[in-house]
Amino acid sequence: MENMATITIDGKEYSVKENQTILQAATELGIEIPYFCWHPKLSVSGNCRMCLVEVEKMPKLVIACMTNVADGMVVHTANERVISARQAVMEFLLINHPLDCPICDEAGECKLQDYAYNYSRGVSRFDETKVHKPKRVPLGPRVMLDVERCIMCSRCIRFGDEIAKQPALTFTERGDHVVLTTYPGMEFDNDYSMNVIDICPVGALTSRDFRFRSRVWEMTSTESICVGCARGCNTYLWTRNNQTMRLTPRINESVNSHWMCDYGRLSTFKFVNDDLRIREPMIKQGGKQIEVSWDQVLKTAAERLKEYKPKDIGVIASPFTTNEDNYILQKFTREILKTKAIDYVDHIKPEDEDDILIRADKSPNSTGVKLLGLRVDERADGVGEIMKDVKEKKIKCLIVLNEDLASDENYEKILSHLELLIVHSWSHSKTTELADIVFSAATYAEMHGTITNFEGRVQRLKPAVVTKGSSRALEGLSMSRWDKFGTQYDKWGRGPRRNARPAWEVFSLLALKMGGKFQYQSAEEVFSEITEKVPAFKGLTYQSIGRLGTMAKMQEKVGV
């Protein structure tokens, strides 16, 4: 049991952990003490002086980030002496700071901007010419520095040294001529470099990818999950005019703490807006793929599938989509198609893994697919066996979910042996070019669902972008309101242009066309059935998963 201390803050008595600083204790208690340089995951530097507080019986004000609590301590965080000191610190920081707010990317989420409003004098007594420093300095391929805006908090330096393990940043010069820079001959170029943009309390460090693309108040943020690897980092997905604009990390100490890698940040949202996205479902006629309605493509797919015996059909599931999608695909495969030839493709890159966040498994939901029982024998190469049967023409019809099999030259040749290829995909690829029927797929940013990370943590996905394809794309939106909403969006020229649907919905509708009784109205209904049928997910609900996810029972798995 931790030792506790009784302290008084602003006239109220609290019991706090004895090993905490005043700032840590106040933060846990919900008492605001302003700070710039302190960060809960970095070492303490104590160089911004913004967190000054008065402790009775101490001759001077102390910085709350470096002063440990003690039993009987009496702290004042907002008396006249503290307020005066805080105003002086803010005045000092703003002496040479440029008035860049109208053009600064950090505007709207800037601590200096907020504190200048809440804690500064409101008037500057400095009439002299400001000290000018380098602007638009590329620190590396992904981070841009404006030294004039830097307040020398050293967060970025400590992050590089302590978290990213690349000590590349340092201060040079002295006094008001101090400059943040890289060591001679070095670039700030590591797999986590863009985290310094998030922790910079001002607009000194900005994203070279996102600079000047949008104001923060023009965007909407949706809690989401990074799909770049099996870690499943918690993120905010930022959108404007139904377009994805950026990804930023969301704090989850059980998964990614405060961080995310640069690859996940830059490579897992742009394809949602990509021109290569499939806009409508398609059918191949006369050697050409033509866009058709959902009713027509499902009717055609049902008629074609009925032509084949169970042994003639193979199915490739996907670790890139949700538990709900894979569950319904598996159920469709075994109950409607009555075939056992179902598996998924592994995406393992052993050379691309570290001891921070990045995982060798580059698919976000391979654990979920395993727990659903899509691969009964872990030693078997199910996809290899399926493709072998395709080559030998034992399998004549193949359904592929979100995989570009034809990107492998050997598989591309093998796929030409098929009589019928059905592909559910969000983007055009070599595989969709070969397909006889293409279902336009919703991406992770456009649907509800769950994915399971490498540790077995089940986490929620929520739609940040609206599609035309499903009346269920927006939770609680009736069909009449949906039609009105979609019409307005088309009129404004802001999309939703993609007539895309999640796989659970597509294969549920296809099952109905083929005589099945798949009566699912939402992803949540599908997940509810998963928790009944699959022991690994027993007892879970969307509500119990919550914002930060919850653990599945990793030792248990079963097929439908």
Q: What is the CATH number of the domain that holds 68?
A: 3.10.20.740
Cβ partners under 8 Å of residue 393, min gap 6: 417
Per-residue pLDDT of 207-248, as tens digits, reads: 999 999 999 999 999 999 999 999 999 999 999 999 999 999
**Local structure of residue 83 (DSSP, 8 states):** H
Strand partners, 427: 277
pLDDT of 231 reads 98
Confidence of residue 510 (pLDDT cuts 50, 70, 90): very high
Mean pLDDT of the chain: 92
pLDDT at 554: 75
Within 8 A by CB and 6+ apart from 201, the residues are: 36, 110, 111, 112, 151, 153, 155
Task: Report the candidate in 377, 321, 324 with the shortest Cα–Cα distance to residue 347.
Answer: 321
Q: 421 - beta bridge partners?
A: 398
Residues across the chain = 560
How many structural domains does the chain have? 3
Query: Is the pLDDT reported for residue 494 higher than 90?
Result: no
Quick check: helix, strand or coil at residue 184? coil
Q: In terms of residue numbers, what domain contains 367?
A: 282-551
As a whole number of angstroms, the distance between CA 275 and CA 399 comes to 24
pLDDT band at residue 555, thresholds of 50, 70 and 90? low
Q: Which of 212, 230, 250 is the last residue of a domain?
A: 212
Mean pLDDT of 510-538: 96
pLDDT, residue 275, reads: 84
- Pair 519, 539 in one domain: yes
Q: Are residues 159 and 28 in the same domain?
A: no
Residue 499 and residue 424 share a domain: yes
The CATH number that applies at residue 400 is 3.40.50.740
In a domain, 425, yes or no: yes
**Higher pLDDT, residue 80 or 488:** 80
Q: Please indicate whether residue 304 or residue 478 has the higher confidence score (pLDDT).
A: 304
Return the residue matching tokens 């009775």.
Answer: 56
Q: Are 167 and 161 in contact (CB under 8 A)?
A: yes
Cα–Cα separations (whole angstroms), residue 270 to 210, 216, 218, 235: 12, 18, 18, 15
The radius of gyration computed from the CA coordinates of the chain, to the nearest angstrom, equals 28
- pLDDT tens readout for residues 61-70: 999 999 999 9
CATH of the domain at 193: 3.30.70.20
The model's pLDDT over 364-408, given as tens digits with 9 standing for 90+, comes to 999 999 999 987 656 567 788 999 999 999 999 999 999 999 999
Q: Is residue 259 part of a domain?
A: no
pLDDT digits (tens, 9 = 90+) for 416-470: 999 999 999 999 999 999 999 999 999 999 999 999 999 999 999 999 999 886 5
Question: Both 160 and 85 in a single domain?
Answer: no
List Cα–Cα distances, 523 to 168, 194, 233, 331, in angstroms. 46, 34, 22, 15
Q: Within this chain, do residues 316 and 453 fall inside the same structural domain, yes or no?
A: yes
340 and 388 in a single domain? The answer is yes
Whole-angstrom CA distances from 275 to 246, 426, 428, 441, 442 are 17, 11, 9, 14, 14
pLDDT at 497: 66
Residues with Cβ within 8 Å of residue 429, at least 6 apart in sequence: 276, 404, 406, 407
Of the listed ranges 91-100, 280-289, 470-479, the one predicted with least confidence? 470-479
Q: Are residues 293 and 146 in the same domain?
A: no
* CA-to-CA dists, residue 329 to 69, 319, 388, 506, angstroms: 57, 12, 22, 9
Please say if the pLDDT value at position 473 is more than 70.
Answer: no
Give the per-residue pLDDT at 382: 75
